Structures are given as C-alpha cells and as structure tokens.
Structure 1
C-alpha cells in the first residue's frame, strides 16, 4: 500500500467518518485567506525536512451551509470505545502513577509519512481560514547553529484545550461552536505539530490521548506517556472522552528512555489534583542525558499559594531525579540538563515563577529571550473572552538549565492583529493557548567541565 493510502487508512481508522462536507458555515472575509493556508517553520533535524517547512496548498471554495454537528462530534461513541479498550490494557500504569512505567509499546499501525499526513490535515482543513504565519526567531546575539555531533533539539510546549472543556465548560463566547468541533480541530492541532516536527512534545489538557494522539504519534515514530488528573473536570461534561491530563512524546530515533516518573503534585503535604511526568532521556547522537518534565498547575486566581506549593514540590522531585540520574552517569558531578514545560497558570509576578527562576537547578525561561533585554516574558501566551470578561495572560513556559543548554531559536508570538478580535480559540487557532517552541543545544563547555 502506498504512503498516501496508508495515511488515509490510518486517519479513517482513528478519526471521524465525517469529512469537510459535514461542517457548518465558516465566516467570509479577509481571515479566509483565499491565497491558501500558509505555515512556516523548520522541520526537526531527523525528519527529513529542510528549508522553511511545508507551504500548504490553496484552500477550496467558500463553504456552503450543512447539517449541524453534534457537540462532541459524530464519532464520540466509537472514540470512547477505543479509549476504554486501550485504558483497560494500560490500567496497571494508570492505576499506580507513582511507579516508573516502561516506554509505551509500539502500536500495530502502518508507518506514516509525515509530509503526506500533513497534506491529509490540509485537505481536511481546506475551508478553514489560514493560520497566520509564525516565524522562527534567533535570540539576540545568536545565529543558526548546526553541528553534526551536537544537533539542536526541538521542544514544543502546548496546552491544546481539552475537547470536553472547550465545548462543554469553558464558555468561549466569541468562538463559534463549530470552530471547536473535534472532527476538524484535531487536524488543526496535528497540522501545527507536523509543521514544526518537534523532537520532544509536551502537552496539557489531553483528553483524546488513546484514540488520537498515542496511535498517530506512534505511527510517526514517537514514544508517548500520559498521566490523567486524579479528578478531571472533563468528567462533568456529558459525552466526554475521559479525563484530561499531561502527555509527553519523544522521537525514538533521537532518544532512548533511561527512567520515568509519574507524579501527583502535593501542597502542604496534601496530594492535589495536578500531575507531572518526568523522563530522563539519552540522546542517541551525543550520548548525553536530558531530563524533561511536563506539568499543568492549578488554575484561576485565588490559588496562588497552592500553585507555589505545587511548584516547590515539583522542584524537589526534579532535584532528586536529576541527582539520581547524575549518579548513574560516568561522573557523579555531570550536569544533567533539564527542560520543564508547562501551563503554570501563573503570571511572572507570582511566587511559583520566582521559585523556578531562582531555583538551585539553574533554570531560565526560554521565551524571555524574545525580548530586547532578554529578561521579559511575552505579553501573553493565552488570550480569551469568557462570560466573565476578556483575559490576556502569560501562563505557559519552557524552562531550561541555562548553564548546560543554549536556546538557538524560538517560535515567535502572534500579534494582536494576527490573533483577531475574537481572540482564542478560533477557526485558525485550535486552543485558547498558543504553542511555544524552541530549539536547544547542549553546551559544549558544560560537558567538557564535567567529563
């Protein structure tokens, strides 16, 4: 079977039976971008992509009115069935999150060509307006960095918006309901991932892990891990797809797994509803260790002290894990570089941010490097309108060990004009949070000092 047929078969297996013809009407106007959907970005170093990334072909004609779509999508029952089967097979690791689970086994799925799958996404999104172009920017004082023996590592951080929350709980009053329809929104999420092709992908609010992300990402050459919240608000929504949680994927051609921990974060000695996944990886190119964590802290104002305590608990666990990983290496003094991705639900003014920036782990926030002084976070990483009003906040971060890693480039933040007056989510932004992405490299001097 040729790659195109394999991709179609995979998506038909995993995704809805309904196609673009089953969608509602989309708004006309400048946002429709008749010139076509256009994304920019440089592919990952081992995905066979060079240059400025794929240019998506022109979109189709204006949509016509269509039959309404059920709020949770036409295939919600089959998705739940697939999810139930897979969760039963993986129940031991989910029931005991304190254990160190093995790598997720390879699925019996056809290998998928990422370029072809990107075109499949493009075809499914023909009638959606184009997502505004985002450029990869080199921080001030740096430039492109390419070494065969030390290639850059691409990291993507994204709260993708749980489907049950988006349609049933969050109340995005300026976002049309059909823009949140999972049968197309999932293609928009996957399109962004495939455009930039990270080596490591950290996600929050994942409630379609088993029926969508795990099989698709496995077919693209990733190993994944998922940890649901002990009690997920998604379960309050009728026709939900199960609990939401954090997920992490890494490309197995680039990394192997040394150890992993699934954590339930505590505050004041009490367990909370927030979780984290921590994995220590071995880079197959350099042989060096890299510890990666993903988390999602408590949301909403009034919970600042709880977030601070959750951050302190996570930092303590990271110190223990990186110390343990270091003792397993050739030299006990080896610096284990650390990357922490997450939706912290905290502005830079909060105590939990200060905890991370002043930690003994030597962490710095990558997105500060977009500013002219290298010390200021972006003005926003999420911008939404709910019944309570409009909120524009910086809540999402990629932290890295600055004395062991260097940031080579970052994906820029869309302007207010690019986001549009209705804010996030929308027809061209699938989540109420923006994806963050950076390329990091191992510092040679840090390795020489400790080797």
Structure 2
C-alpha cells in the first residue's frame, strides 16, 4: 500500500469510533492540494455556531467511549491506580518500543495535506515564527544536530466539551472529529523530535497509532482519578503522554511517577524518559508533568514540584555528580512565575533555566501568557506552561514565538482556528561540548 493510501486508511479508521457515532465526519481526500502558508486563510465558509451555550442546554456529545461497560472499566482502573503506592524514582525499567513497528508507516507530508483538507472549512492557525534568541551561541554542527522538543496541553476532549465551560467558544469548534486534525496539524507542521503532552484522553485510539505510524514511540500515564471520568460518554482518563522519534533516539530507561506532597500521594503524575541520541551518542533525560490546577493549591503544587525535582536528581545523577545527564522538563505547571514551585525549579541544584525567558529582551522574563481563555468566572490570561533545561549542558538554538492578542482573537482560546486553551511551546536544543572533548 502506498503512503497516501496508508494515511487515508488510518485516518478514516480513526474518524469513527465503534462505540459511538460521530456528529459528522470530516471529508478526506487522498489527492494533493495546495498547502497554505502559515497564517494563510483556508477557503470555504466558516461553520455556524451551534448556539447551545446561549440557550443553556446541556447536550451530550459522543467522545469515543459511550458504553456503561467502558465507563465502569475506566473507573475501576482509576480506583486501582489510586490505591497503588507512589512510584519510586529508583524503579527505572527498560522500555520496549517493538510493538510500534507492526503499525503501518505514514507519510507526514501526505498526512499534513489530509489534515488541511479535513480543516478546509476552518480559518488557518495563527502564524508563528521561530525566533533565534539574542546572545545565545548555537552549538549545532553536522555531528550535533538540534533536538526539537514540543510542550503542549492539548485540552482533554471530555473537559473541553463537558466541564471547562469556554463560554465564547462555539460547541462545534470543539468537535473531536475536526479538533483532532488541528492538533495533528500543529505537530506535523513543526515535526518535533520529542513531543510532551498533557490532558491526553485519546491516546490509544488516536495519538499512539498515528504517532507510531509517523516513526515515534509513545508512553502514556493516566491520572489516578481523572476529572474526565465525571463526564458522560467520556473516552477514559486523561493523563500525560510523551513521544520520541525512534530514528533519532534509543530508549535507556522509563519511570512513571505519581507525585507526592508531604509524603502523601496526589492525583498528579509525571513521565521521565532517558534517551540516547543516535547521532551524538549522548544521553538526554526528558520529563513531562501536569501539576495541580486552580487557585488555592499553591502549597500543593510547590510540594509536587519538590517531589519531582528530587526524583529527577536521583535519576540523572545516579552515575556521577548532579545533573550528570542533561535534563529537559516540560509541563503545564498551573503556576505563574510568582509562585513558589517556579522558584524551586529556577533555583534547583539541577541547574535548570526556563527556555521561554530567552524570548524577552533581558532574557529574564517569561512570556505574558501561554493560556488565554474565557470561562463563566471571567477571563484568564496566564503563563502556566514551561520548558526547563540544563543550562550548563544544553544550548537553546531557537524558540517558537507566542501569538499576539490580535492573532488569538477576541473570543480567546480554544476556537475554530486553535484546538486548545493552551499554546504549544517549541524549542530547539543542542548539546554543549563536554569539557573533556574541548581539551
């Protein structure tokens, strides 16, 4: 089967859940079409808003797991995880990505064209440019190519439709049968080597098979008790996911952590993956997490951050001194830079720096926002998402800039042209030369 047919077959299969009929199917065409430039407008009429939010109706939308048996299954699974002990950082099993090799190979260019075709009735995503920070020195050479890492809270489908209450976002803009294409389009546009996601509730039926077909190996860890389970017709619990490109990295260890606070297990998790770069032969440890949300939980977030930092210290310094293995930590911390958990990371003995500070003129200020939404409680414009990195071992080559207020639009996020209430972050890193190699 040629790549175009493979892409169409896989996407058509994933368009329809065997457990629930979709509200409508996006038409797909395997044929080529003109690929619009970033920021170009797609042709076709803009979909009409449903108006259900204005009427106060509470409709139920299929989300891929509507049967009561599946709800009971995920509920039982969550209770089992909730009663399990906190994972110890020393437990560091080897990963086995061989199962990914049995899935059909997808052509990323063809898949991107199919995403654009499925989204032809929607306006294009905001144009975003790669910015090369002033004052940084690239360490990128032929023998040391950059490593592109994406961080993104993609918004769990069950939460977007069922709990989050985005009062200025039309309900049909959140339809999974189109919204998933916007998420995939964002990933395919930038082709990261490592993808770190939060609020993933369609891992097994969408992201794992598609990303595996694109050459990635994935890992998923659900929250012990996900709020998605409270939504009727949910698709199971949400959690964190990480994907890495198999052609670039080999796995050297994986830890699934349930974060604790004051020696007590919490509902938040982290994935920590150690990789070996096939080009440089050097190791890189990458973590993804999603800390406790909402105001009033600042002390809990701080304790969760302290627990994660201790685990990362144990994992990266097992063979030598602190931060022996270069480290990247991606996550939705649900914390502004003024919070204690931010200060913990910036002052950690691991020597971490926040990559997105480098977009500012002084290199010391975070972006004004990484999430911007309007809920019944009001408008929220906050910086909550970060990419932390080992400043002594890694160099930041470039960053994806933050869309302007005009690009985001008056109704904020999510919207017809952007699938999540959080912006994706993207950073190109390269290894700094090791001291013994410079001698």
Same fold flag (TM > 0.5): yes
Deviation at 1:353? 0.2
Secondary structure of 1:183's aligned partner? helix
Partner of 1:187: 181
Query: Does the 8 A contact of 1:246 with 1:296 survive in 2?
Result: yes
| CA distance in structure 2 between the aligned counterparts of 1:373 and 1:67, rounded to whole angstroms | 45
Q: How does 1:218-297 map to 2 (within 5 A)?
A: 218-297=212-291
Partner of 1:424: 413
Secondary structure of 2:345's aligned partner? helix
| CA distance in structure 2 between the aligned counterparts of 1:419 and 1:169, rounded to whole angstroms | 22
Secondary structure of 1:348's aligned partner? coil
Secondary structure of 1:106's aligned partner? helix
Is the counterpart of residue 39 in structure 1 residue 38 in structure 2? Answer: yes
Is the counterpart of residue 59 in structure 1 residue 42 in structure 2? Answer: yes
| CA distance in structure 2 between the aligned counterparts of 1:204 and 1:398, rounded to whole angstroms | 13
| CA distance in structure 2 between the aligned counterparts of 1:72 and 1:322, rounded to whole angstroms | 44
Partner of 1:369: 358
Q: For 1:369-423, what per-residue CA distance to the aligned partner results, in whole angstroms no more than 9, with x for missing partners?
A: 0000000000000000000000100000000000000000000000000000000
Secondary structure of 1:189's aligned partner? helix
Is the counterpart of residue 206 in structure 1 residue 200 in structure 2? Answer: yes
Report the CA distance shift for 1:404/1:416 in structure 2 as closer, same or farther (over 3 A): same
Query: Does the 8 A contact of 2:60 with 2:232 survive in 1?
Result: no
Deviation at 1:336? 1.1
Unaligned regions of 5+ residues in structure 2, if any? 27-33, 53-58
Q: How does 1:281-320 map to 2 (within 5 A)?
A: 281-320=275-314
Partner of 2:338: 349
Is the counterpart of residue 152 in structure 1 residue 146 in structure 2? Answer: yes
Report the CA distance shift for 1:77/1:446 in structure 2 as closer, same or farther (over 3 A): farther
> What TM-score do you get using the length of structure 2 for normalisation?
0.87
| CA distance in structure 2 between the aligned counterparts of 1:222 and 1:67, rounded to whole angstroms | 37
| CA distance in structure 2 between the aligned counterparts of 1:22 and 1:417, rounded to whole angstroms | 31
Q: How many residues align?
A: 413
| CA distance in structure 2 between the aligned counterparts of 1:399 and 1:264, rounded to whole angstroms | 20
Report the CA distance shift for 1:395/1:8 in structure 2 as closer, same or farther (over 3 A): same
Is the counterpart of residue 103 in structure 1 residue 86 in structure 2? Answer: no
Query: Does the 8 A contact of 1:322 with 1:336 survive in 2?
Result: yes
Q: For 1:71-124, what per-residue CA distance to the aligned partner results, in whole angstroms no more than 9, with x for missing partners?
A: 53475559x97xx89x99xx99x9888354523443432100100000110110
Query: Does the 8 A contact of 2:289 with 2:330 survive in 1?
Result: yes
Unaligned regions of 5+ residues in structure 1, if any? 24-34, 41-55
Partner of 2:5: 5
Deviation at 1:158? 0.2
Query: Does the 8 A contact of 2:150 with 2:426 survive in 1?
Result: yes
Secondary structure of 1:201's aligned partner? strand
Report the CA distance shift for 1:388/1:284 in structure 2 as closer, same or farther (over 3 A): same
| CA distance in structure 2 between the aligned counterparts of 1:5 and 1:77, rounded to whole angstroms | 30
Q: CA RMSD in A?
A: 3.1
Query: Does the 8 A contact of 2:272 with 2:288 survive in 1?
Result: yes
Deviation at 1:37? 4.7
Secondary structure of 2:38's aligned partner? coil
Query: Does the 8 A contact of 1:103 with 1:224 survive in 2?
Result: no
Q: For 1:283-336, what per-residue CA distance to the aligned partner results, in whole angstroms no more than 9, with x for missing partners?
A: 110010101000000000100000000000000000000012x35xxxx78831
Deviation at 1:62? 1.9
Secondary structure of 1:444's aligned partner? coil
Report the CA distance shift for 1:97/1:162 in structure 2 as closer, same or farther (over 3 A): farther
Query: Does the 8 A contact of 1:410 with 1:438 survive in 2?
Result: yes
| CA distance in structure 1 between the aligned counterparts of 2:161 and 2:22, rounded to whole angstroms | 20
